[in-house]
Amino acid sequence: MSNYPKALGHEGAGFVEEVGPGVRVTSVGDPMLLSYDYWCALMTGSGAVMNAARAKSDDIVLVTGLGVVRMAAIMAAKVLGCKEIIAVDRVASCLEIAQELGATKVLDTSKDGSDLATRISDLVNNQRIACTI
């Protein structure tokens, strides 16, 4: 369920006309809002990896800033069987989720003040990164 008030965009709205047996969260006549936030994030993140970057199984993929769109990018890279999926963020809980979703390596930017480019290069042993999301 969504939190209200909610800014409308491409979401659909209407009223419940019928409920199935066992449904207890809504009743006939209740106003409803369909939110596509999750699905939009999934399509944007996976589309970036699969369609825009055209990542392949032997690729190294770097994903920075781990919001929902980029978490979807990690899932897509995993589905494609990418050789390495590196997640970069400063929030430990986001890095943990990224690993659960398929990141093979994580880089916590809150812990070390050294040059980020050098840290990433070291993490991939100076190999080429095919795409950065």
- Tell me what the pLDDT averaged over the chain comes to: 89
Residue 116 tokens, joined: 């980020």
Distance CA 21, CA 14 (A): 21
Average pLDDT over residues 78-102: 97
Average pLDDT over residues 59-79: 96
- Structure pTM? 0.74
pLDDT at 1 over 60: no
Distance CA 39, CA 36 (A): 5
Average pLDDT over residues 15-34: 90
Q: Which of 72, 23, 17, 19 is closest to 49 using CA atoms?
A: 72
Whether residue 21 has a cis bond before it, omega within 30° of 0: no
- In the CATH hierarchy, which fold is given to the domain comprising 42-132? Rossmann fold (3.40.50)
Residue 43: phi, psi to the nearest 5? -70, -35
pLDDT band at 2 (very low <50, low <70, confident <90, very high): low
- Predicted confidence at residue 5, as pLDDT, reads 67
pLDDT at 24 over 70: yes
Average pLDDT over residues 4-28: 81
User: Would you kindly state where each structural domain of the chain is located, as residue ranges?
Assistant: 42-132
